[in-house]
Amino acid sequence: MIRRPLRTLTVLIGAAAAVTAFASPASAATSVLNEAAGPVTLAAAQQKLGTSLGAAFAGTWLDTTTGELVVGTTDARQSARIRAAGANPKVLRHSAAELKRIQSTLDNRTADLPDSVAGWYVDVPANEVVVSVVGGDPAGRAWAASAGVPVRVEQVKSAPRPLWSVVGGQGLYFSGGACSVGFNAYDDDDHYVITAGHCTELGGTVRGVGGTIGKVAKSSFPGNDYGTVKVTHSDVSTPPRVDRYEDGSDVRIEGADVVGVGGRICRSGITTHWHCGRVEALDQTVNYGNGNIVRGLTQTDACAEPGDSGGSFVSRPSSGSGTKLVQAQGMTSGGSGDCSEGGTTFFQPVKEVLDRYDLTLEKD
């Protein structure tokens, strides 16, 4: 049976300690609460002081130089209470409740919000509400001024955008069809997504599950079956992870040690998701027909179907709790059969493309 690349011809290609920190106002704290106390103790102290100070409470923060807990108050007479609780007092003009009301006023004026307004927040140490405006745009400044509440306008370089991750085994969409993400890698200057070469030969702009990733950078097929997509959009993150879909949480890539013949491997792709098997042969030459001969592939009995092309092959995760660590093996190339009755699948070893293009797998 002729084994062809996995792609379709139409749509797809393939708190007790915290309580004792509070003494009565008449007693003195033995030490000042700081970052070393840990988040649980600090959170309890902040909540307790917020309640005890009532309307005079003006927020809390850690001093970035000393790491000590600072508590704001609009009533200087509360300073002794704050010190007794183990924090440093600071007398401020606006209470936390007042700042929240100012912020809420802005929250209720979004109907005419200019795109140049990147957001707004309470700057607790400065005791101000800040409006972020891209490039100091006049329309954004005018919107902030027209709110009728005291605010500080800060200039930011760019507007925020939602961040999304390119994860191994998830969809990779070309103008002519769909494949799967193999692995994320980088060189000295840029980040790349590695997938199958018979996918990147389509060229052009490539999208992922959350939007545009970038354009095809390099491609090698036939002979080899690998290619890269250069990540050019700043909202894209490239973590060292592979999606296990319904089989569990993502696994994390920690290296690229090769699994030998008889070893257990697993693969991920958008069509059939997560399937496992064993390595049957290394360094195999495969004839996909029409002159498409690929050398150096690894044969496995893990099934795959069209659309899974380019997806991640990894070592089988170990059992037990916690994040599963795996070794990157390669990208799904092609095969025969399906995941209903079983089949044979080949993958392009990832080390070859890393060496060829001088890339390093992403790390946490």
Catalytic residues: 198, 225, 309
Q: How many helices (H) and strands (E) does the chain have?
A: 7, 25
What is the rounded CA–CA span in Å between residue 98 and residue 107?
14
Whole-angstrom distance, CA of residue 317 vs CA of residue 244: 10
Q: Identify the DSSP state of 68.
A: B
| Parallel, antiparallel or unpaired: strands 211-220 and 205-208 | antiparallel
Q: Phi and psi (nearest 5°) for 76?
A: -60, -25
- What's the CA gap between 12 and 177, in Å, rounded? 5
CA angle 70, 75, 81 (to 5 degrees): 55
CA distance 218 to 31: 60
* Residue 268 phi, psi (nearest 5): -135, 140
Tokens at 255, concatenated = 């290296």
3-state secondary structure of 52: helix
Residue that has been written with the tokens 């997509």 in this structure: 229
How many angstroms separate the CA atoms of 270 and 87, rounded?
53
Among 326, 185, 249, 225, which Cα is nearest to 14's?
225
Q: 203: alpha, beta or left, given left = phi > 0 and alpha = psi -120 to 50?
A: left
Count other C-beta atoms under 10 Å from residue 78's C-beta.
22
Report the side by side order of strands in the sheet with 57-62: 57-62, 69-73, 88-91
